[in-house]
Amino acid sequence: MRDKAKIGIGLLAVVLVMVLPLAGKMIQKSSGGASIGNGTYILVSVDGHDIPYSPFHEGRQAPNIISGSITLKRGGAFAAAMSFSNPVGGPVIRHFKGVYTKDGTTYILSWEGAGQTEAAIEGNKLTMNNEGMLFVYQK
C-alpha cells in the first residue's frame, strides 16, 4: 500500500509540474492580456513627424524630442522615457512609469502621478494619442 501511495504522489507531482505553468499562461491571457503586448517600443514619430521632432506648444516652439521608448512589462506595469534637446547642458531625459490594463483592443495606461492614456497595438506598432498628439512607437 505504501508503494502505491508513493507512486500516486509521484504521478500527481509530475502532472502538477506540467499543468501549472500552462494554467498560469491561460489565466494571464484571460485576465486582461497584460502580457500580450509586452516588450519595448521605440518612438518613431510624433504627429506624423519623424524623430527628432520640434513640436509647437501654446504658440512657441518646444524643445526637440530626440528619442523615446515605452516598455510594457508582464504583469501590467510599464516604464517610459523621453529625451529632449537642451541648448544648455545637453539632452534632458524624463522617466515615467505606471500600470496598464487591456480593454478589448485598447490598452489603458495609468501614469503614476498623472492621468490615463489609451493606446492601441497592431502587430509591432503601438499608437498612443496623448493630449491630442499622436505618438507612434515600433517594437
Range of the structural domain that residue 103 is part of: 39-138
pLDDT at 36: 55
Do 109 and 43 reside in the same domain of the chain?
Answer: yes
Q: What is the pTM of this model?
A: 0.68
Tell whether 46 and 99 lie within a shared domain: yes
Residues 15 and 62 in one domain: no
- 86/129 same-domain check: yes
pLDDT in tens, 65-124: 999 999 999 999 999 999 998 877 788 999 999 999 988 879 999 999 989 999 999 989
Q: What is the pLDDT of residue 103?
A: 85
**φ, ψ dihedrals at 131, nearest 5°:** 55, 45
Q: What angle do CA 104, 106, 98 make, to 5 degrees?
A: 120
Are 20 and 68 contained in the same domain? no
- Number of separate domains in the chain: 2
